[in-house]
Structure 1
Amino acid sequence: MEAPQYVAARVQQALAEDTRTHELGIHVDVRGDQMFLRGKVSGAEQRERLGAVAHEAAPGLRMHNEIKIVDYGEPGEDEHLD
């Protein structure tokens, strides 16, 4: 059986290199047969793509996609800087 840190490294490499994701800021944690994805992305579609790529890289693990979606868009109208 492959050591958890090697599985996590393989998944992180897949997330960084896959043309669908190109994501470097996602933390992958493997514990037993569980894989946890943590980090922040700008949209639900990217979150889903990351989950798909991670699952393909480690299909035998039960994945918990804990990636948070944050809005990197324009500042809101009520934000005033004096």
Structure 2
Amino acid sequence: MTAEQYLSARLRRALAEDPRTAELGVRVTVRGDHVLLSGDVACADRRADLEAVVHEAAPGVTVLDDVRVVPVGEPVGQEEIR
């Protein structure tokens, strides 16, 4: 396993285990000292927490944030089944 793969696995674990994030669906890609985060989260606060956890787990890396905020809510209206 390369150093980049090790760091990527460590960051994915940190994001999954930290109570602020508890994210399993965010992808982590490491290239040198750059960490790319990608995926979807439910709110902007969660997105900010992702970056904070990465900076705590790997100080000194540059975080490239490609995480999209996709609000989750109850469906509006009725679903038509044909």
Is TM-score (shorter-chain normalized) higher than 0.5? yes
Over the aligned positions, Cα root-mean-square deviation in angstroms equals 1.5
Distance of 2:79 and 2:24 partners within structure 1: 32
Instruction: Give the structure 2 partner of residue 53 of structure 1.
Output: 53
Q: Secondary structure at the match of 2:5?
A: helix
Gaps of 5+ in 1: none
Counterpart of 1:34 in structure 2 is: 34
- Number of positions where the alignment pairs a residue of Structure 1 with one of Structure 2: 80
How high is the TM-score relative to the length of structure 1?
A: 0.87
Deviation per residue, 1:8-55 (Å, 9 max, x gap): 111100000011111111100000111000110000001111110011
Q: Stretches of 4+ moved more than 3 A in 1?
A: none
